[in-house]
Every structure is written in structure tokens, then in C-alpha cells.
Amino acid sequence: MDRMIRCITSDGSIMAAADSTYLVATAQQIHGTSPVATAALGRLLTGASLMGSMLKKEDASLTLKINGGGPLGTVIAIADSHGNCRGCVDNPAVELPLKPNGKLDVGTAVGANGILGVIRDFGEGSPYIGHVEIKSGEIAEDLTNYYAVSEQIPTVCALGVLLDKGDSRRLLAGGMLIQVLPGTDQAAIDRLERNVSGLKPVTTMLAAGMSIEEMCKTALEGFEMEILDEFQIGYVCNCSKERVLRAISTLKPEDILSLADEKGFAEAKCQYCGHTYQLSEQELKELAEKKASKIIRGK
């Protein structure tokens, strides 16, 4: 499991920082992602984890969905209020040349001609849905732009995924999210901007052995900082056989029965964790009968 902390300064600004290395490595193993796909999905997962931790309701969830017209297609990350998350990418095997500076070209892989969607579901009816145009496809800049445009909250988001060039299974990942809350004076904002402008990339700090506490202190130098909470985060999927059965029950009775193969079974695979659920012919028959009964009663 990875770790996240949330901090607050004496002037009311808040910050979250996370080491998401194992979370991203788990996603890489599940989806078999190429280096550039790992970087894109890893950044979005880390961003979702940080944003999810800002939710104020226990059972709330946050979904990030981005598609900029690039070869990766749609990239999705879903987080709960504890920062645990899961995600997927349409085309995980995409390979692209490195940028001239030797870095992975996430911006081209995601694309910059499309929409970033943010869904907050508090389990109280209709979820809050926000959309902004993608600015760069680099993920962190797009999340920063989302807060500025959609919520008018001055925000700095820094995300990073660093893969070993010799073995892409060896990686570092992490992120930081800093928000200036209403009432913060201009002097404090100016100091924070100076601090942020001098920050090294997240993965550079992690590679140098810095803890997430030290990363926060560096970003908030000159401020009185208090750690609000600390918790473990991980790649967590909430799929279950019951959810699969509920999804299949939305089909027509004849379509439910047609799912069985020649051996009398049907299989459903979770797009987020890869777990496969097997349904027997008898289970399918019972679902079809229940659906047919509901249709008759509806008439």
C-alpha cells in the first residue's frame, strides 16, 4: 500500500501529497500497459486519488475521464474518499517515440482535442458533473485548469510517473495538490507561487529519497503547516458477482439466455481489475425468468 497525507497551513491553504508507486505498478500489471500508457494512466490515477481525498463524505466517489483524441483513447480513473482508486485505458499497448528531451510523450498519447470530465457522486441523487476542454493532455495541467475554470479555485497539481528505461516494471509515482482557499491574503499567495515555481518534479524528489512530508514542507516553506490526516492508498476495485448479475439483469430475457456458451456458462471480465466471473446456465435461466416476470407485471 502507498501513503497519502493532507496538510493545512495557518492561512487556510490545503495540500495533499501521495506516493502512488505501488498503486501505479498494480495498474501496469493488471492492464499490461506500455510505458507511455503507464505514465498517462498513472498520472490520472494519482490525480483522482488526491482529488478523491478532498471529498467530505465517507461513501463519495470521484471519476476522472479524459479523451483528447490521441491514440490511447479514453483514460478513466475512479477514486473513493480515502484515495483508493482503479482505472483503465482503451488502448494500453500504445507505443510512441520519446520527446526530444527523452521523456515519455503523454500529451501526444492522450491528445489535446477533447474533454476532461469530472464526476463527483455523493450517493444523494444526481452526481455533480463538470467538463472542461483539455489544455495539453499532460493530465496535471488539465486538472489544474479544471479547478480554475470549473470551480474557480486557484490550484497547483503536480503528477509524475518515472519508469526505468531498462525495465519499465521498475517505477516511481506520486503527486501533490495544493489549493488556495478563499480569504488567503496576497502575500501568502505570492510566497506559495515562489515556492511552487522552484519545486523539482515529484518523481525527482521521490527518487532523491524525500518523504511526502518533506515534499509538503518544501512546497509550503515559510508557512506554518499542520498534518490533518494520513492514510494508506491502493489500487482497489469494488467489482463483485452481485454487480455482474445486476448488470446482466438489465438485458432482455432472450439476450440473457443467449450469453451461455456451448458448455453452458457465461463469463464476465471486470474492465478495471481483470477479475473474471463465471455464471452458470442455471443462474442465467433464473435471471431471465425474473426479468420476464417483471415485464409481465409491468404490462
Q: Above 90 in pLDDT, residue 294?
A: no
pLDDT of residue 190: 87
The number of helix segments (H) and strand segments (E) in the chain equals 10, 12
Given a contact cutoff of 8 angstroms between Cβ atoms, the answer to whether 247 and 263 are in contact is: no
Instruction: pLDDT band for 67, please (50, 70, 90 cuts).
Output: very high
Task: Report the sign of the C-alpha dihedral through residues 277, 281, 283, 289, in that order.
Answer: positive
Instruction: pLDDT band for 41, please (50, 70, 90 cuts).
Output: very high
Which strands form 2-9's sheet, in the order they lie side by side?
A: 155-163, 171-179, 14-19, 2-9, 225-233
- Say how far apart CA 93 and CA 89 lie, in whole Å: 9
Number of CB atoms found within 10 A of residue 227's CB: 12
- Measured CA to CA in angstroms, residue 275 lies from 236, 269, 271, 280 at distances of 12, 6, 8, 17
Q: Which has the higher per-residue pLDDT, 298 or 94?
A: 94
Q: For residue 97, what is the DSSP state?
A: P
Q: In this predicted model, what pLDDT tens digit does every residue of 73-101 receive, in sequence order?
A: 999 999 999 999 999 999 999 999 999 99
Given a contact cutoff of 8 angstroms between Cβ atoms, the answer to whether 142 and 66 are in contact is: yes
pLDDT of residue 275: 94
Q: For residue 235, what is the DSSP state?
A: B
pLDDT of residue 263: 80
Looking at residues 203-217, what average pLDDT do you find?
A: 95
Q: Average pLDDT over the chain, rounded to whole? A: 92
- Percent of the chain at pLDDT above 90? 69
Instruction: For residue 285, give the 3-state DSSP assignment.
Output: helix
pLDDT of residue 33: 97
Q: In this predicted model, what pLDDT tens digit does every residue of 231-288 receive, in sequence order?
A: 999 999 999 999 999 999 999 989 998 998 888 888 999 999 999 999 998 999 989 8
Q: Which has the higher per-residue pLDDT, 191 or 49?
A: 49
Q: Above 90 in pLDDT, residue 216?
A: yes
Using a 10 angstrom Cβ sphere, with 0-12 exposed, 13-18 middle and 19 or more buried, the burial of residue 213 is: middle
Instruction: pLDDT band for 59, please (50, 70, 90 cuts).
Output: confident
Given a contact cutoff of 8 angstroms between Cβ atoms, the answer to whether 132 and 115 are in contact is: yes
Q: In this predicted model, what pLDDT tens digit does every residue of 109-140 receive, in sequence order?
A: 999 999 999 999 998 888 999 999 999 999 99
pLDDT of residue 298: 64
Q: What is the DSSP string of 120-143?
A: EE-SSSSPEEEEEE-SSSSSHHHH
Element (H, E) at 144: helix 140-146
Question: pTM of the entire structure?
Answer: 0.92
